Amino acid sequence: MSDSKDVTLDPDNWAAYRALAHRMVDEAIDHLDQVRERPAWRSMPDDVRNTFRSALPEDPTSLDIVYKEYRETVGAYPMGNVHPRFWGWYMGASNFTGALGDFLAAVDGSNLGGGDTGASQVEQQVIDWLKGIVGFPQDASGTLTSGGSMANLVAHTVIRNLAAGYDVRKEGIAALDNSLRFYASDQVHSCHQKALETLGLGSKALVEIESDDRHRMRLDALQCVIAQDRADGLQPACVIGTAGSTNTGAIDDLTAIADLCEREGIWFHVDGCIGGVLGLAKQHAHLIAGIERAGSVAIDPHKWLHTPFEAGAVLIKDADAHFATFEMHGPYLQYQERGAIAGKFLADYGLELSRGFRALKIWMAFKEHCAAKFGQLIAQDISLARYMETQIIAHPLLELVAPVNLNIVCFRHVADDEDAAKVLNTEVMLRIQESGIAVPSDTTVQGKYGLRCAFNNHRTRREDIDVFLSAVVHTADQILPKRSA
Ligand SMILES: *Cc1c(COP(=O)(O)O)cnc(C)c1O
């Protein structure tokens, strides 16, 4: 008999795991089934927070105890975005099929860097579907990313390398003689600045163009800035059109930007992290007409497709340029015509080599529900925003701080002046978050502070909006000093 026992992470007894795993699924279903009865968010008490200070485990603990700890200290304090009254920032409410997809993807275990696998077929099919949704030709390329920030970074890398006109991969950006310029509206998402900083172009490469009263990029201003930049010896590289701004859901005039880019010979990129999937809702698809003329589009399935985090995507029409930007193979990872690594190497289209099987959660949900259902959910969110807009307009103590362009409502409780409005509404927001009634966030739009509700939540109903607006009015009333008659 050998005195060395083989070590593995697999259990000695699968039967005990089976029962526990089934219980986890049962309790996950209860968790979602009862989501409405729980607070949208709650703060973590210190004694719970302190449990996270324990050192690296030196002794084993049985999984049922680990799971119990998870339930009490982690699962009891989520962000809250799966709750019907969570509308802060711009999250996405996840979905159970997607959660099962993530579980199955982990069990499958495939690394999506490449390989002749079912998983790699699924990712390529999802990318093909996304091309169809934005009206891109099937010979465009694309890749799934961790999110919109990474999707935009991948696109900007391709654009930078093409615009430089020399081998940037070899020579680096130090050899750039003209500074590259990327133009976007002043409502552009901050990830573009981060991307251009990361690419070594500097934040000055992002030129923010003033937006109009509906927060769309002013194209007359854009045209002037481009002409001036050319006169100054700078090199216009890209116009970023926003299809659904994060602040207010504003959609730039994509057709006009496409025309301008064609005239000027500039790359047209669309940040469609919010509105890039509007094509699924036929009655709203016209809002993003022109997106199909872009050279690249970033979309974010973990937002309006409700994919569990993380899942972003970038699509690039010039598949060769995309490949030429990222293709890289060490001696330990060479192409083969046959065998386990044959086929398209997905890591040649982005920064990551090892890649998760993000595609499965999207693929399963699309198959189960079909494309039209996602379109209905998008339309439902837009009508929820319209409903809230009407309620606010009708209420004497509430006011909009920005036009409702899409599915985002920026509003506030009235106050004597801008400073008072900010103090009052911030306090209202925090108290409502802490009460667990709802999670709105806040923003400042063209100098006006307000609360912000983004509806990309398939669980929200009109009555949730009624509950929330009464809470806003009631909370403000408690905060405001009582005026004696
Ligand atoms: C959310 C968002 C991003 C960033 O996407 P992440 O998935 O959060 O990285 C980029 N652009 C817009 C318009 C967004 O709304």
Domain boundaries, the chain: 14-79, 101-370, 372-484
- How many angstroms separate the Cα of 382 from the Cα of each of 212, 404, 468? 22, 9, 17
The reply to whether ligand 1 has any atom less than 6 angstroms from the CB of 189 is yes
The residue type of 40 is: A
Question: For residue 454, how far is its CA from the centre of ligand 1 (angstroms)?
Answer: 13
Distance CA 215, CA 413 (A): 22
Residue 147 near ligand 1, beta carbon < 6 Å = yes
d(CA 402, CA 448): 8
Q: Is the CB of 272 under 6 A from ligand 1?
A: no
Looking at residue 119, its pLDDT comes to 98
In single-letter form, the type of residue at position 387 comes to: Y
Q: What was the pLDDT predicted at 482? A: 78
Nearest residue (by CA) to ligand 1, atom 14, is 273
User: CB count, 10 Å around CB of 476?
Assistant: 20
With residue 4 as reference, give the H or E element that holds it: none
pLDDT in the model for residue 484: 59
Per-residue pLDDT of the chain (485 residues; tens, 9 = 90+): 445 678 999 988 899 899 999 999 999 999 999 999 999 999 999 999 999 999 999 999 999 999 999 999 999 999 999 999 999 999 999 999 999 999 999 999 999 999 999 999 999 999 999 999 999 999 999 999 999 999 999 999 999 999 999 999 999 999 998 899 999 999 999 999 999 999 999 999 999 999 999 999 999 999 999 999 999 999 999 999 999 999 999 999 999 999 999 999 999 999 999 999 999 999 999 999 999 999 999 999 999 999 999 999 999 999 999 999 999 999 988 889 999 999 889 999 999 999 999 999 999 999 999 999 999 999 999 999 999 999 999 999 999 999 999 999 999 999 999 999 999 999 999 999 999 999 999 999 989 999 999 999 999 999 999 999 999 999 999 999 876 54
Q: Which two tokens stand for residue 40?
A: 């949208």
Cα distance between residue 284 and residue 379, in whole Å: 8
Phi/psi of residue 145, nearest 5 degrees: -130, 180
Angstrom distance (rounded) from CA 117 to CA 247: 40
> Quick one: which of 58, 357, 296 has its CA closest to 163?
296
Per-residue confidence (pLDDT) for residue 481, from 0 to 100: 86
The predicted pLDDT at position 27 comes to 98
Confidence at residue 69, expressed as pLDDT on a 0 to 100 scale = 98
- CA torsion sign for 59, 63, 64, 67 is positive
Topology annotation, domain 372-484: Aspartate Aminotransferase, domain 1 (3.90.1150)
In CATH terms, the fold of domain 101-370 is Aspartate Aminotransferase; domain 2 (3.40.640)
Using CA atoms, how far apart are residues 381 and 455, in angstroms rounded to an integer?
5
**pTM for the full predicted model:** 0.96
Give a three-class secondary structure readout of 244-266. CCCCCCCECCHHHHHHHHHHHCC
Q: Report how far ligand 1's centroid is from the alpha carbon of 151 (Å).
A: 9
- Report the 3 state secondary structure along 27-73: HHHHHHHCHHHCCCCCCCCHHHHHHHHCCCCCCCCCHHHHHHHHHHH
Residue identifier of the C-alpha nearest atom 10 of ligand 1: 148
